[in-house]
Amino acid sequence: MSAQHPEHTLDNPPASTPVDAIAHWQRLPAGSLAGVSTDHILWSERVPGGGHWSWRLKRGTALRFVALGADANVSVVLYAAHQTLERYNMPDSLKAQHTAHYRHGHVLMSDMGRSMASFTADSLGWHDPLGALLDTPTMQRRFGEHRFEAHRNGMHRSGKDGLLIEIGKHGLGRRDLIAPVNLFSKVTVDEEGRFHFAAGHSQSGDFVELRMDMDVVVAVSTAPHPLNPSEAYAPPQVGVVAWRSGPAPADDFCRTFRGENARAHHNSDVFAL
């Protein structure tokens, strides 16, 4: 392995350490867990930059994502656990909420009109739903080809390939890959319809939280945003903390944010009965 491409330092516990004793969240930046009840934390992870992960989560579980470096990006896709043909629908979510970006109060709606997840906490106020994914040809053209055989954990992996690997673990394939939500990233659109990436939008310690409003399959990639102009493939790590938040109460901010959100939450509530 080339010395120029060292392996990532993976913060794995020894085999003798029980899973429930892994407390990565205790080493996250101060303030990044504001509002989280540490008594209800289920588990935590540190996902390497360019890494990917997936989980099956129950309704009333929250994921807190914490940037561990500047210009972090987490591409997220959601599928209903009971039937993965139901999934996050970007056009319906944006249209119903009259927005072109996500922030605290917004919900991610399925193509069945149900709230799949809600933005219950957010230090940034802008998360990108439009910029799509970094694919492998673009990644190799910009950063060169860095294969696992030569660079081990220092390899380059695109967001598209990372998510395809993860959804494949749940019986899904290329035709099932949907437009993601790019957490921590900001993309604006000018009067000519051109996209512009806001470099420096996120810093270490920024966070965003998604509460699951249905039982869902969640897959994430921490590869760079496709519009990030950086000349080096160097995406930062992202901390992830799962905790029991409980379902949205009647006076939940996301539920009451818009009338459309209330209907989407109602549809999820009825489905869960």
When divided into structural domains, the chain yields a total of: 1
Flag whether 146 is in a domain.
yes
- What's this model's pTM, rounded to 2 decimal places? 0.90
21: in domain: no
Does residue 48 carry a pLDDT above 80?
A: yes
Q: Is 16 part of any domain?
A: no
CB atoms < 10 A from the CB of 211, how many? Answer: 25
Q: Which domain holds residue 235?
A: 26-272
Q: Is 78 domain-assigned?
A: yes
Residue 2 forms part of a structural domain: no
Give the pLDDT of residue 148. 61
Under 8 Å between Cβ of 125 and 104? yes
Residue 4 within a domain: no
Q: Is the pLDDT of residue 215 over 50?
A: yes
**Cα 268 to chain center, whole Å?**
21
Closest CA to 74 of 64, 82, 83, 84: 64
CA dihedral in degrees (117, 178, 133, 222; nearest 10)? Answer: 40
| Contact between 126 and 103 (Cβ < 8 Å) | yes
User: pLDDT by residue (tens digit) across 71-124?
Assistant: 999 999 999 999 999 999 999 999 999 999 999 999 999 999 999 999 999 999
Confirm whether 82 is domain-assigned: yes
